[in-house]
Amino acid sequence: MDDPAGSADSFAVVDGYESIYDLGGADILHCSEGFYGLEDFERHLLSALDPFEGIASDIWRCHAADMDTIELRGGLYVQPLASPSMGPPPAPSVIYIDPFSAFGDGRHPSTALCLRFLADYMGALSDETRRDLSVLDAGAGTGILSIAAEKLGADLIDAVELGSSAVESARRNIRLNECKKIGLRQGDLLTIDFSRKYDIVLANLVSDVIISCLEVLVPLVRPGGVMIASGIGTTRAAEVEERFFSAGVRIVDSALLDGWMAYLLEGEGGRAFRP
């Protein structure tokens, strides 16, 4: 508070404001001890080669350790882990995810919506039909969508991710879940030479990336196949929907969750594998 005029008390001026405080001998001693402690801490930091190495990782893993299991459609569950070593043996109905350094632990609305459309679409098909499905995961992140596709029965999954740290995260999660049908590679969607078309193309990205990649992704949807696009904010939804129309895909269904939109889109020839 402001210092009363004529006060004999100690005061400090901070950003133009004078504040009253009382510094007795004990308070001065306490502050001195605190400064000595800071000096010791500074010496410790300076003696370390990289004093902040691992801090971000430790903070994130403390956060990840408290993540709850997420129930998905199609009888799947996502179990976020603080470390692969903490996970129980892989189970067919559980997706184990170590989310460090990459996007996609199943809790973000865009990932949840993409998983919902994927589980609903594949869950309506026979086991035999699902085993014939090919899937492209464009922008794989942690690999959660690719892992879900394999656990739902897809026979071939190609996962593409640009970021090196995300690629390493996806590799770790693929091993953790003992997946055998996922081919993961690092690269830019706009420059990769794809050698096939896919029954399902997954694009859990952001509006600008989806728009810029439509000319590449839409031709990768096989005749009768589908594309699942997510990560579109409601403020960009009308613009992205117009781009879908211009790119030659039709909106079959859409969903909104916490300000994020996801779409189930038909490629040329209508919906694939009607049950």
* CA geometry: angle 103, 106, 111, nearest 5 deg: 70
Q: Is the pTM of this model over 0.85?
A: no
Q: How far is CA 21 from CA 8, 16, 227, 231, 234, in A?
A: 11, 16, 65, 52, 51
pLDDT, residue 137, reads 98
Tell me, what amino acid is at 115? L
pLDDT, residue 27, reads 41
The pLDDT mean for the chain works out to: 78
Q: Give me the percent of the chain exceeding a pLDDT of 90.
A: 57
The Cβ of residue 134 has, within 10 Å, a number of other Cβ atoms equal to 18
Dihedral (C-alpha) 182, 113, 203, 243: value to the nearest 10 degrees? 160
Classified as helix, coil or strand, 11 is strand
Dihedral (C-alpha) 159, 162, 164, 165: value to the nearest 10 degrees? -80
pLDDT, residue 80, reads 76
pLDDT, residue 39, reads 52
Tell me, what amino acid is at 142? T
Q: Which of 52-66, 88-102, 202-216, 255-269 has the highest mean pLDDT?
A: 202-216
pLDDT, residue 68, reads 66
Stated as kind and residue range, the H or E segment containing 259 is none
pLDDT band at 172 (very low <50, low <70, confident <90, very high): very high
Q: Flag whether pLDDT at 179 surpasses 90.
A: yes
What would the two tokens of residue 3 be?
A: 């210092």
pLDDT band at 244 (very low <50, low <70, confident <90, very high): very high
Stated as kind and residue range, the H or E segment containing 213 is helix 207-217
CB 249 within 8 A of CB 266: yes
CB 133 within 8 A of CB 202: no
